[in-house]
A and B are shown apart, each in its own frame.
Chain A
């Protein structure tokens, strides 16, 4: 889907926001197609929430433009906002209302007709796994349940663009997995998803394309593969092995495409281009030098490494 494609659900460009002297967002722009999940990956304070707040029309922007489903979106648009769903970073629910009441209130605010709303509320309660607690006040929920309700409100009105701002922070691994799965399902159903996170694993798992954002600027954008190639990172092959490891290293280094090798504790670490293609050759050479291999692991370079390479910083503090 190219830059000029008319069917992009979200298209934003030149977004800029400063707070006093601090430029929080500086020229952010990208586009998302239907069914595509787009990740904004960046550390604390990178400008993810600020970007999203401008895209969703919460925050007045200093410069830039946002088009949602072909319509311009500003803080005052009501039409364009109707097709956007937002899951804020901080839990945003009414504690003294029940899950059902929270959902119904926001559904009505989005103009959903009563009959459809009732059915959809039941559906969303199932999706976020709160159907059996729907009549309890939200203040009685656990943190993870509140998070799930927070997400449910965002997708209630079947938005064409769903924006999730770090929805898994502070959630146990099980709930986290459930959240990631429902995001995957939504994008299969054709929803465009904008997903911010500072967890590299989430961006790698969910997102078709990722933008790496730092200090208010997008420093790189593309599929995972593109990003990795952009910085020329190699795959890593890790062997657990015994025998004359030094000799095996020397033998394997002669293979075309192997960029380096090191003896590590209980095995060997190779760096290689397209390691999968060369794995047989590596194992043959290593075996020939009398080394016994007990396990093999191939690691593609990850976004963490890309981030480090591009910004000179680690993703997490």
Chain B
């Protein structure tokens, strides 16, 4: 199996690269988790939470995007997970974080676990497409509070993904979870607090509870971006000039494409799997029968690979591929009901939504919540058909993309 061997080598190399540049953690874990966190508070206000953080926010911008972020923070506060206070200046915010870092600080002093700094001109930059930078300053000794703050900010920023907005985290050593630690941090966070109590939704209603619905929606929305990283690796090889070396190497050309497919699959399934586990424990999400969830996850990742492979084969550069992938993922995501329940709108839209794999994934999960694992087969069938047809189309084009 020389073909498989070289494909696996390429995939291992790719995954190392994606872990190094952290993209997989941001798009695969932090963004969907952060968004799910924000949204889930809207649906499920927390009553008796053990975890509570103190955040301060400095709005030096005052524009509409900054207001939107403050509104998102208000949701977090309404959820009872944190108290949000506005302060006048970045200096004051940093000072309160300093106090928060100091275990022996005077009890009377105002303290914070993390601060959000919105710089002047932020809204203007975002709206003009130039991008902007949100800074999150975390306190030493409040790992979980700082991590949740970062997730909230990443989640909000991810919503603005069309423009280049960066979240800059200024965490003292030991607070900012490094890429490698994020995986370890989630279980740690789980151990510290199980913050949100979710009301039990009686089984058999064929309806996901709000938190799970939101997390699943965000998860499937972002998994398209994660998979896109794997697929566009093909264009990255050309950009780096390394495609030349791969073509000169004693391997078959198919193994280059297969390697990228393995990368996409592993990143997609891996990030969704972590999201499922983390949201179950941290947010009390109820995904349903594990086997059924696993089958749906695999099926939706396959469908994402197919459609994004077509995108990659049409694009000429990696930037272009990224842009096309964002557009496709956004349109499918909106149509497929990841942000609002399309099937409740009814009419044409709910029919059109069925071209989106997202809709089938959510429908499959809904059916699974009804209790019957067998009920997911129509959705799985639709997803796999979608995946196979698009992959077959992409294969033809991609073979042409494998040239120097």
Contacts and interface: CB of A to CB of B under 8 A. Distances in A.
B404 A59 contact: yes
A90 B239 CA distance: 10
Contacts of A88: 241, 244-245
Contacts of B403: 58-59
B250 A82 contact: yes
A92 B404 contact: no
A31 B204 CA distance: 77
B250 A58 contact: no
A94 B9 contact: no
A75 interface: yes
Given A92-B241, A92-B242, A105 B13 contact: yes
A86 B244 CA distance: 9
Task: Classify chain B: how many residues form its interface, as a range.
Answer: 20 to 34
Contacts of B246: 109
Nearest to B247: A58
A231 to B, nearest CB: 35
A109 B251 contact: yes
Interface stretch (B16-24, B67-75, B184-192, B381-389): B16-24
Secondary structure of the A side of the interface? loop
A93 B240 contact: yes
B128 interface: no
Given A57-B247, A86-B244, A108 B9 contact: yes
Most buried by A among B240, B245, B248: B248
A95 interface: yes
Contact of B13 (A81, A90, A94): A94
Interface string B228-258: 0000000000001110111111111100000
Task: Classify chain A: how many residues form its interface, as a range.
Answer: 20 to 34
B241 A90 contact: yes
Given A92-B242, A94-B240, A108-B9, A84 B248 contact: yes
Contacts of A81: 248-250
A110 interface: yes
Contacts, number: 73
Secondary structure of the B side of the interface? helix
Contact of A97 (B2, B9, B10, B13): B13
A53 interface: yes
A110 B249 contact: yes
Contact of B240 (A57, A77, A95): A95
A56 interface: yes
B44 interface: no
B6 interface: yes
Most buried by B among A58, A91, A94, A111: A94
Interface in B1-49: 2, 6, 9-10, 13, 16-17, 20-21
A56 B16 contact: no
A94 B242 contact: yes
Contacts of A105: 9, 13
Nearest to A163: B248
A78 B247 CA distance: 10
B256 to A, nearest CB: 10
A262 interface: no
A106 interface: yes
A140 interface: no
A205 to B, nearest CB: 26
A106 B17 contact: no
B404 A78 contact: no
B250 A78 contact: yes
A101 interface: yes
A78 B240 contact: no
A79 interface: yes
A126 interface: no
A91 B241 CA distance: 7
Interface in B175-214: none
Nearest to B9: A108
A86 B250 contact: no
Interface string A286-300: 000000000000000
Contacts of B249: 81, 106, 109-110
A109 B240 CA distance: 17
B17 A78 contact: no
A153 interface: yes
A79 to B, nearest CB: 7
Nearest to A50: B404
A56 B404 CA distance: 11
B20 A96 contact: yes
B242 A109 contact: no
Contacts of A91: 241
A235 B253 CA distance: 52
A1 B294 CA distance: 65
A58 B16 CA distance: 26
B247 A75 contact: yes
B247 A101 contact: no
A101 B16 contact: yes
Contacts of A53: 404
B242 A78 contact: no
A100 to B, nearest CB: 12
Contacts of B242: 92-94
A137 to B, nearest CB: 8
Nearest to A137: B20
Given A86-B245, A88-B245, 5 more contacts: A57-B248, A78-B2, A94-B242, A96-B20, A97-B20
6 contacts: A58-B244, A58-B404, A77-B250, A78-B252, A96-B17, A109-B249
Which 7 A-B residue pairings sit nearest by Cβ, starting from the closest? A92-B241, A78-B250, A82-B250, A81-B250, A86-B248, A58-B247, A90-B241
